[in-house]
Amino acid sequence: MQIIKHNNLTWIDINNPTPKDIEYLKNNFHFDQFILDELFVPTMRPKVEEYNYYLFMVLHFPIFIPRKKRTFSREIDFIITKDAIITTHYAAIEPLQVLFDSCSLSGANKEKAFGKNTGNLLYKIIEALFEFSFRELNHIQQKIDEVEEKISRNPDATIIENIAIVRRDVANFIRTIRPQKTILDSLTIHGLKFFGEQIKPYITDMLGDYARVMDALENHKEIIEALHDTHESLLTTKTNEIMKTLTILALTVFPLTLIAAIFSMNTQIMPIVGQPNDFWIILGIMLASTIGIFSYFKMKKWL
Protein backbone atom coordinates (compact mmCIF):
# COMPACT_ATOMS: atom_id res chain seq x y z
CA MET A 1 0.00 0.00 0.00
CA GLN A 2 1.24 3.48 -0.95
CA ILE A 3 -0.29 6.68 0.40
CA ILE A 4 0.24 10.25 -0.71
CA LYS A 5 -1.61 13.33 0.60
CA HIS A 6 -2.00 16.89 -0.62
CA ASN A 7 -4.50 19.71 0.04
CA ASN A 8 -6.60 17.47 2.31
CA LEU A 9 -6.82 14.95 -0.53
CA THR A 10 -5.48 11.39 -0.35
CA TRP A 11 -4.42 8.90 -3.00
CA ILE A 12 -4.00 5.31 -1.84
CA ASP A 13 -2.57 2.84 -4.35
CA ILE A 14 -2.66 -0.88 -3.53
CA ASN A 15 -1.00 -3.56 -5.63
CA ASN A 16 -2.49 -7.04 -5.09
CA PRO A 17 -4.68 -6.23 -2.04
CA THR A 18 -4.21 -8.27 1.13
CA PRO A 19 -6.71 -8.78 4.00
CA LYS A 20 -4.69 -6.25 5.98
CA ASP A 21 -5.15 -3.63 3.21
CA ILE A 22 -8.89 -4.29 3.07
CA GLU A 23 -9.14 -4.01 6.85
CA TYR A 24 -7.41 -0.62 6.67
CA LEU A 25 -9.93 0.62 4.10
CA LYS A 26 -12.82 -0.72 6.13
CA ASN A 27 -11.68 0.95 9.36
CA ASN A 28 -10.76 4.30 7.81
CA PHE A 29 -13.40 4.75 5.10
CA HIS A 30 -16.26 2.41 6.12
CA PHE A 31 -16.95 1.23 2.58
CA ASP A 32 -19.63 -1.41 2.02
CA GLN A 33 -18.31 -4.90 2.64
CA PHE A 34 -19.43 -6.26 -0.74
CA ILE A 35 -17.37 -3.52 -2.47
CA LEU A 36 -14.32 -4.39 -0.39
CA ASP A 37 -14.82 -8.06 -1.26
CA GLU A 38 -14.74 -7.17 -4.96
CA LEU A 39 -11.20 -5.85 -4.53
CA PHE A 40 -10.00 -9.42 -3.96
CA VAL A 41 -11.46 -10.85 -7.16
CA PRO A 42 -10.82 -9.63 -10.74
CA THR A 43 -13.91 -8.27 -12.51
CA MET A 44 -14.35 -9.34 -16.12
CA ARG A 45 -16.29 -6.26 -17.27
CA PRO A 46 -15.68 -2.56 -16.61
CA LYS A 47 -18.34 -0.70 -14.66
CA VAL A 48 -19.10 2.43 -12.65
CA GLU A 49 -21.52 2.47 -9.73
CA GLU A 50 -22.64 5.24 -7.40
CA TYR A 51 -23.18 4.71 -3.67
CA ASN A 52 -24.02 7.00 -0.74
CA TYR A 53 -20.75 8.90 -0.52
CA TYR A 54 -18.47 7.29 -3.09
CA LEU A 55 -18.16 5.97 -6.63
CA PHE A 56 -16.88 2.49 -7.46
CA MET A 57 -15.37 2.06 -10.92
CA VAL A 58 -13.60 -0.79 -12.71
CA LEU A 59 -11.49 -0.12 -15.81
CA HIS A 60 -9.24 -2.32 -17.92
CA PHE A 61 -6.19 -1.18 -19.86
CA PRO A 62 -3.91 -3.10 -22.24
CA ILE A 63 -0.33 -3.72 -21.18
CA PHE A 64 2.22 -5.17 -23.62
CA ILE A 65 4.64 -7.67 -22.05
CA PRO A 66 7.78 -7.76 -24.29
CA ARG A 67 9.06 -10.95 -22.64
CA LYS A 68 5.89 -12.81 -23.65
CA LYS A 69 5.37 -10.80 -26.86
CA ARG A 70 1.68 -10.42 -25.99
CA THR A 71 -0.77 -7.78 -24.85
CA PHE A 72 -2.68 -8.46 -21.64
CA SER A 73 -5.62 -6.70 -20.04
CA ARG A 74 -4.89 -5.21 -16.61
CA GLU A 75 -7.71 -4.27 -14.24
CA ILE A 76 -7.74 -1.17 -12.07
CA ASP A 77 -10.44 -0.69 -9.42
CA PHE A 78 -11.26 2.84 -8.25
CA ILE A 79 -13.05 3.88 -5.09
CA ILE A 80 -13.62 7.63 -5.25
CA THR A 81 -14.80 9.83 -2.38
CA LYS A 82 -14.88 13.60 -2.06
CA ASP A 83 -11.43 13.65 -0.46
CA ALA A 84 -9.76 10.35 -1.43
CA ILE A 85 -9.10 8.02 -4.34
CA ILE A 86 -8.18 4.39 -3.79
CA THR A 87 -6.74 2.49 -6.76
CA THR A 88 -6.23 -1.26 -6.52
CA HIS A 89 -4.84 -3.71 -9.07
CA TYR A 90 -3.53 -7.27 -9.23
CA ALA A 91 -0.21 -6.58 -10.95
CA ALA A 92 2.15 -3.64 -11.27
CA ILE A 93 0.78 -0.92 -13.57
CA GLU A 94 3.64 1.16 -14.93
CA PRO A 95 1.80 4.45 -15.67
CA LEU A 96 0.18 4.41 -12.21
CA GLN A 97 3.54 3.94 -10.50
CA VAL A 98 5.19 6.60 -12.66
CA LEU A 99 2.47 9.13 -11.79
CA PHE A 100 2.57 8.21 -8.11
CA ASP A 101 6.36 8.56 -7.97
CA SER A 102 6.16 11.86 -9.85
CA CYS A 103 3.74 13.24 -7.25
CA SER A 104 5.89 11.93 -4.40
CA LEU A 105 9.10 13.52 -5.69
CA SER A 106 7.82 16.88 -6.91
CA GLY A 107 5.54 19.33 -5.15
CA ALA A 108 4.70 20.98 -8.45
CA ASN A 109 3.67 17.66 -10.00
CA LYS A 110 1.66 16.83 -6.89
CA GLU A 111 -0.17 20.16 -7.07
CA LYS A 112 -0.86 19.67 -10.77
CA ALA A 113 -2.20 16.13 -10.31
CA PHE A 114 -4.26 16.64 -7.15
CA GLY A 115 -5.66 20.10 -7.86
CA LYS A 116 -8.52 21.03 -5.55
CA ASN A 117 -10.62 17.87 -5.68
CA THR A 118 -10.52 14.17 -6.41
CA GLY A 119 -12.15 14.79 -9.79
CA ASN A 120 -8.92 16.43 -10.96
CA LEU A 121 -6.83 13.55 -9.59
CA LEU A 122 -9.10 10.97 -11.24
CA TYR A 123 -8.71 12.79 -14.55
CA LYS A 124 -4.90 12.83 -14.24
CA ILE A 125 -4.80 9.10 -13.45
CA ILE A 126 -7.03 8.11 -16.38
CA GLU A 127 -5.18 10.51 -18.68
CA ALA A 128 -1.88 8.85 -17.72
CA LEU A 129 -3.38 5.42 -18.44
CA PHE A 130 -4.66 6.45 -21.88
CA GLU A 131 -1.34 8.17 -22.71
CA PHE A 132 0.45 4.96 -21.80
CA SER A 133 -1.96 2.92 -23.93
CA PHE A 134 -1.26 5.22 -26.87
CA ARG A 135 2.50 4.73 -26.44
CA GLU A 136 1.95 0.99 -26.14
CA LEU A 137 0.70 1.05 -29.73
CA ASN A 138 4.26 1.83 -30.88
CA HIS A 139 5.23 -1.84 -30.79
CA ILE A 140 2.29 -2.65 -33.08
CA GLN A 141 3.39 0.08 -35.50
CA GLN A 142 6.92 -1.37 -35.48
CA LYS A 143 5.60 -4.85 -36.24
CA ILE A 144 3.45 -3.47 -39.06
CA ASP A 145 6.52 -1.75 -40.55
CA GLU A 146 8.47 -5.02 -40.32
CA VAL A 147 5.67 -6.96 -42.05
CA GLU A 148 5.45 -4.33 -44.79
CA GLU A 149 9.22 -4.52 -45.34
CA LYS A 150 9.18 -8.33 -45.52
CA ILE A 151 6.29 -8.32 -47.98
CA SER A 152 8.13 -5.88 -50.25
CA ARG A 153 11.31 -7.98 -50.14
CA ASN A 154 10.11 -11.58 -50.15
CA PRO A 155 6.43 -12.40 -49.57
CA ASP A 156 6.91 -16.00 -48.38
CA ALA A 157 4.68 -18.13 -46.14
CA THR A 158 6.62 -17.28 -42.95
CA ILE A 159 5.13 -13.76 -42.96
CA ILE A 160 1.73 -15.27 -42.09
CA GLU A 161 2.91 -15.81 -38.51
CA ASN A 162 4.03 -12.17 -38.17
CA ILE A 163 0.68 -10.95 -39.53
CA ALA A 164 -1.20 -13.26 -37.13
CA ILE A 165 0.74 -11.85 -34.14
CA VAL A 166 -0.09 -8.26 -35.11
CA ARG A 167 -3.75 -9.09 -35.70
CA ARG A 168 -3.90 -10.77 -32.29
CA ASP A 169 -2.33 -7.73 -30.57
CA VAL A 170 -4.71 -5.31 -32.29
CA ALA A 171 -7.69 -7.51 -31.36
CA ASN A 172 -6.55 -7.69 -27.72
CA PHE A 173 -6.14 -3.90 -27.57
CA ILE A 174 -9.57 -3.27 -29.08
CA ARG A 175 -11.24 -5.85 -26.84
CA THR A 176 -9.75 -4.14 -23.78
CA ILE A 177 -10.17 -0.47 -24.77
CA ARG A 178 -13.56 -0.41 -26.54
CA PRO A 179 -15.76 -1.11 -23.43
CA GLN A 180 -14.25 1.95 -21.70
CA LYS A 181 -16.43 4.19 -23.89
CA THR A 182 -19.59 3.04 -22.11
CA ILE A 183 -17.95 3.60 -18.72
CA LEU A 184 -16.80 7.11 -19.63
CA ASP A 185 -20.32 7.91 -20.84
CA SER A 186 -21.72 6.61 -17.55
CA LEU A 187 -19.10 8.61 -15.67
CA THR A 188 -20.51 11.71 -17.35
CA ILE A 189 -23.81 11.08 -15.56
CA HIS A 190 -22.46 9.84 -12.22
CA GLY A 191 -19.54 12.29 -12.22
CA LEU A 192 -21.77 15.33 -12.74
CA LYS A 193 -23.97 14.25 -9.84
CA PHE A 194 -20.99 13.46 -7.62
CA PHE A 195 -18.55 16.28 -8.46
CA GLY A 196 -20.77 18.88 -10.11
CA GLU A 197 -20.29 20.75 -13.39
CA GLN A 198 -16.55 21.23 -12.72
CA ILE A 199 -15.90 17.61 -13.76
CA LYS A 200 -17.43 18.06 -17.24
CA PRO A 201 -14.28 19.38 -19.03
CA TYR A 202 -12.24 16.54 -17.53
CA ILE A 203 -14.63 13.88 -18.80
CA THR A 204 -14.63 15.54 -22.23
CA ASP A 205 -10.83 15.27 -22.28
CA MET A 206 -11.00 11.61 -21.18
CA LEU A 207 -13.38 10.87 -24.05
CA GLY A 208 -10.95 12.64 -26.38
CA ASP A 209 -8.06 10.48 -25.11
CA TYR A 210 -10.20 7.38 -25.63
CA ALA A 211 -11.09 8.45 -29.19
CA ARG A 212 -7.42 9.08 -30.01
CA VAL A 213 -6.42 5.58 -28.91
CA MET A 214 -9.35 3.95 -30.73
CA ASP A 215 -8.63 5.89 -33.94
CA ALA A 216 -5.03 4.66 -33.87
CA LEU A 217 -6.22 1.09 -33.24
CA GLU A 218 -8.72 1.21 -36.11
CA ASN A 219 -5.99 2.59 -38.37
CA HIS A 220 -3.62 -0.23 -37.37
CA LYS A 221 -6.39 -2.76 -37.93
CA GLU A 222 -7.10 -1.47 -41.45
CA ILE A 223 -3.41 -1.45 -42.36
CA ILE A 224 -2.68 -4.98 -41.15
CA GLU A 225 -5.79 -6.32 -42.89
CA ALA A 226 -4.68 -4.61 -46.12
CA LEU A 227 -1.18 -6.09 -45.72
CA HIS A 228 -2.73 -9.51 -45.09
CA ASP A 229 -4.75 -9.26 -48.31
CA THR A 230 -1.70 -8.02 -50.23
CA HIS A 231 0.44 -10.87 -48.92
CA GLU A 232 -2.23 -13.43 -49.78
CA SER A 233 -2.50 -11.99 -53.30
CA LEU A 234 1.28 -12.00 -53.83
CA LEU A 235 1.60 -15.51 -52.41
CA THR A 236 -1.22 -16.75 -54.65
CA THR A 237 0.40 -15.12 -57.69
CA LYS A 238 3.74 -16.68 -56.78
CA THR A 239 2.13 -20.11 -56.33
CA ASN A 240 0.32 -19.77 -59.65
CA GLU A 241 3.60 -18.94 -61.39
CA ILE A 242 5.23 -22.03 -59.89
CA MET A 243 2.28 -24.22 -60.93
CA LYS A 244 2.41 -22.71 -64.40
CA THR A 245 6.12 -23.53 -64.72
CA LEU A 246 5.61 -27.09 -63.47
CA THR A 247 2.65 -27.60 -65.83
CA ILE A 248 4.64 -26.38 -68.83
CA LEU A 249 7.56 -28.60 -67.82
CA ALA A 250 5.24 -31.60 -67.48
CA LEU A 251 3.61 -30.92 -70.87
CA THR A 252 7.05 -30.57 -72.44
CA VAL A 253 8.40 -33.80 -70.97
CA PHE A 254 5.24 -35.84 -71.69
CA PRO A 255 5.63 -36.17 -75.52
CA LEU A 256 9.33 -36.98 -75.08
CA THR A 257 8.42 -39.73 -72.64
CA LEU A 258 5.69 -40.97 -74.97
CA ILE A 259 8.03 -41.11 -77.98
CA ALA A 260 10.70 -42.86 -75.93
CA ALA A 261 8.14 -45.38 -74.66
CA ILE A 262 6.82 -46.09 -78.19
CA PHE A 263 10.25 -46.74 -79.66
CA SER A 264 11.21 -48.91 -76.71
CA MET A 265 8.29 -51.29 -77.33
CA ASN A 266 9.38 -54.89 -78.06
CA THR A 267 7.58 -55.53 -81.38
CA GLN A 268 8.55 -57.41 -84.53
CA ILE A 269 8.12 -54.38 -86.75
CA MET A 270 9.19 -50.96 -85.49
CA PRO A 271 9.55 -48.05 -87.95
CA ILE A 272 12.89 -46.28 -88.01
CA VAL A 273 14.43 -48.60 -85.42
CA GLY A 274 17.18 -50.57 -87.05
CA GLN A 275 17.56 -48.10 -89.90
CA PRO A 276 20.81 -46.21 -90.43
CA ASN A 277 21.06 -43.22 -88.07
CA ASP A 278 17.88 -44.34 -86.26
CA PHE A 279 19.11 -42.82 -82.97
CA TRP A 280 19.54 -39.38 -84.50
CA ILE A 281 16.20 -39.62 -86.31
CA ILE A 282 14.38 -40.43 -83.05
CA LEU A 283 16.29 -37.66 -81.27
CA GLY A 284 15.29 -35.27 -84.05
CA ILE A 285 11.63 -36.24 -83.65
CA MET A 286 11.88 -35.53 -79.91
CA LEU A 287 13.57 -32.18 -80.57
CA ALA A 288 10.97 -31.24 -83.17
CA SER A 289 8.12 -32.08 -80.82
CA THR A 290 9.74 -29.99 -78.07
CA ILE A 291 10.15 -27.02 -80.41
CA GLY A 292 6.57 -27.45 -81.57
CA ILE A 293 5.22 -27.41 -78.01
CA PHE A 294 7.27 -24.34 -77.07
CA SER A 295 6.13 -22.57 -80.25
CA TYR A 296 2.51 -23.32 -79.38
CA PHE A 297 3.01 -21.96 -75.85
CA LYS A 298 4.58 -18.82 -77.30
CA MET A 299 1.73 -18.36 -79.72
CA LYS A 300 -0.77 -18.65 -76.84
CA LYS A 301 1.41 -16.24 -74.81
CA TRP A 302 1.78 -18.76 -72.00
CA LEU A 303 5.53 -18.13 -71.93
Task: Specify if 129 maps to a domain.
Answer: yes
Same domain for 145 and 255, yes or no, is no
Task: Establish if 150 belongs to a structural domain.
Answer: yes
Report DSSP state, residue 104: H
Asked which of 199, 214, 237 is the last residue of a domain, the reply is 237
> Considering the domain boundaries, does residue 69 fall inside one?
yes
Average pLDDT over residues 119-148: 88
pLDDT digits (tens, 9 = 90+) for 53-68: 889 999 998 888 777 7
pLDDT at 303: 67
Q: 111 and 29 share a domain?
A: yes
- Domain identity same for 226 and 275: no
- Asked if residue 133 belongs to a domain, the reply is yes
The per-residue pLDDT for range 181-230, each reduced to its tens digit, is 888 888 888 888 888 888 888 888 989 988 999 999 999 999 888 888 88
Q: In this predicted model, what pLDDT tens digit does every residue of 77-125 receive, in sequence order?
A: 999 998 999 999 998 888 889 898 888 888 888 888 888 888 889 989 9
pLDDT at 176 over 70: yes
Residue 86 dihedral angles phi and psi, to the nearest 5°: -110, 125
Q: Are residues 158 and 275 in the same domain?
A: no
How many separate domains does the chain show?
A: 2
In a domain, 260, yes or no: yes
Is residue 94 domain-shared with residue 165, that is, in the same domain? yes
Domain that holds residue 8: 2-237
Q: Among residues 237, 261, 285, which one ends one of the domains?
A: 237
- Specify if 20 maps to a domain: yes
Q: Note whether 263 and 213 are same-domain residues.
A: no
Residue 13: predicted pLDDT: 93
Give the pLDDT confidence of 142-171 residue by residue, as tens digits: 888 888 888 888 767 778 888 888 888 888
What are the pLDDT digits (tens) for 245-296? Answer: 887 778 778 777 877 777 777 766 677 776 777 777 777 877 888 888 778 7
Q: Are residues 163 and 272 in the same domain?
A: no
> CA–CA separation, 59 vs 37, rounded Å?
17
Q: State whether 217 and 255 are in the same domain.
A: no
Backbone angles phi, psi at 47, to 5 degrees: -165, 165
Say whether both 227 and 257 belong to one domain.
no
Cα 167 to Cα 144: distance, rounded to the nearest angstrom: 10
Distance CA 212, CA 80 (A): 26
Last-in-domain residue among 214, 237, 260: 237
* CATH number of the structural domain spanning residue 209: 3.30.460.20
292 falls within a domain = yes
Q: Does the pLDDT value for residue 234 go beyond 90?
A: no
Gap between the Cα atoms of 55 and 100, Å rounded: 21
Q: Is residue 242 part of a domain?
A: no
Co-location of 269 and 173 in the same domain = no
Claim to verify: residue 180 and residue 74 sit in the same structural domain = yes
Q: The sheet that has 70-80: what strands, in order across it?
A: 2-6, 9-15, 84-89, 70-80, 55-65, 47-50
273 and 233: one domain?
A: no
Q: Is the pTM of this model over 0.85?
A: no
